[in-house]
Structures are given as C-alpha cells and as structure tokens.
Amino acid sequence: MKIRTGIDIVSRSSFTLSLENGGQSFLDRCFNEIEQKNSDVLHLAGVFAAKEAVIKALSLEAGSWLHICVVYENNGRPKVELIEERIDIESLDVSISHDGDYIVAMCSAVLI
C-alpha cells in the first residue's frame, strides 16, 4: 500500500488569460463536458488545480486532464472520477480552496 499526495496552485489572473487566449480549444483540451457546464472562472480554475494535483499524486502523464473528471457531491465536496485509468486505488480524495487571486488543490491517494 502506498500513500501519495499532489498539490497545485493556480493564479486566477493567469488562468483567466489562458481562458481568454485559448477559448473553446483550451476548454475542450482541459475540461470534459460536465465540467464545462459551470463556466465560472473560479470554478474552472479549481477544477484545473484539482486535476493537476491528481496527475501529480498518481504520477499520470502530463496533460492527462481529460482522464480526470471533477464532480461535486450534494454538499459541495469535490470528488474525482478517473476515466480509462487502470490504477488500483483504495482511496482518492481531493480538496480545493480559493483565496484572493489564488486557487489551491490537494489530492491524497492510497494505492493498493
């Protein structure tokens, strides 16, 4: 059993520029259809940070954003669903926080 962690921080202003410059192409490269339904910049930046944290925790290939889907439970807690990844995971948890211009996400995983 291995415990793995990953963390990522995103600048709201830098992320906004990426959205403006990349447009729909950026959205389609980084976010699946479900995640794009909420187009609020803070929401998308949080999802992006969470995906990056998951990539780091699970040692996935860089840019594997579409292999990860961040959804929300009824109480607002983020939850990660992996798409087409064959990793034996006992537990996978993610947390997202916003403060001012920064969004941070942390992932902890217990691998079998």
> CATH number of the domain that 54 lies in?
3.90.470.20
- State the pLDDT at residue 86: 83
pLDDT at 53 over 80: yes
85 pLDDT above the threshold of 80: no
DSSP, collapsed to helix, strand or coil, labels residue 47 as: helix
Range of the domain at 88: 2-111
pTM as predicted: 0.95
How far apart are alpha carbons 6 and 53 in whole angstroms? 4
Count up the domains in the chain and report the number. Answer: 1
| Alpha carbon separation from 28 to 6, 23, 24 (Å, rounded) | 24, 9, 6
Across all residues in the chain, what is the average pLDDT? 96
**How far apart are the C-alpha atoms of 72 and 30, rounded to whole Å?**
17
